[in-house]
Structure 1
Amino acid sequence: MDKCDEIIKWFDANNLAEKEEFEHKQKELEGVCDSIITKLYQAADAAPGGGMPNFGGAGGVPEGAPGAGGTGGSGGPTIEAVD
């Protein structure tokens, strides 16, 4: 949060900065965010049960759930192609 506040203050104070300067600040902030996300994933992998949930269905939807597109459905209606 401190880095975000720092970058926002810089943006506010440097409205007339060159494009390259803005891009540099963006990359600086992305570097901080990337390291935080990496640490979150590492902590999740080390946690009991290991890792982030993997629902196995289409687009992160559990198989058999509406919209999963898998074969574990409830026997409900299906969509067929019409020529």
Structure 2
Amino acid sequence: MRNQINDQDKLADKLDSDEKEKIETVTKEALEWLDDNQSGEKEDYDEKLKEVEAVCNPIITAVYQRSGGAPEGESGAGDDDEL
């Protein structure tokens, strides 16, 4: 997600500054959480991923709708679990 929002060929030029800030904030917080919880349970990681997706997926869907394209996969983002 972080790479996509900074890549001009992907999402960087399609996001509003507010949308980009929300994604940057949630991914930064998730990465910090990952650093602090390296020995967590799978369920903890899954829950954190859902939190990130809950912020990112609606934004990505809106971007694709504005640009007239269909989102990749069902959710538009989240096909790639990397933050």
Q: Name the TM-score, length of structure 2 as normaliser.
A: 0.50
Which of 1 and 2 has higher RCO (CA within 8 Å, sep 6+)?
2
Equivalent in the alignment of 2:35: 12
Give SS of 2:39's match. coil
Q: Distance in 1 between matches of 2:28 and 2:64?
A: 24
Unaligned ranges ≥5, structure 2: 1-23, 70-83
CA displacement at 1:8 relative to structure 2: 0.2
Q: Root-mean-square deviation (CA), in Å?
A: 1.7
Q: How does 1:44-59 map to 2 (within 5 A)?
A: 44=67, 51-52=68-69
What TM-score results when the alignment is normalised by the length of structure 1? Answer: 0.50
Report the structure number with the largest CA radius of gyration: 1
Once the 2 structures are TM-superposed, how far is the Cα of residue 31 of structure 1 from its aligned partner?
Answer: 1.7
CA distance in 2, matches of 1:28, 1:41: 21
Report the count of equivalent residues: 47
| Percent identity for Structure 1 against Structure 2 | 41
Superposed counterparts of 1:1-83, under 5 Å? 1-44=24-67, 51-52=68-69
Task: List gaps (5 residues or longer) in structure 1.
Answer: 45-50, 53-83
More helix by share: 2
Q: State the distance in 1 between where 2:51 and 2:25 align.
A: 13
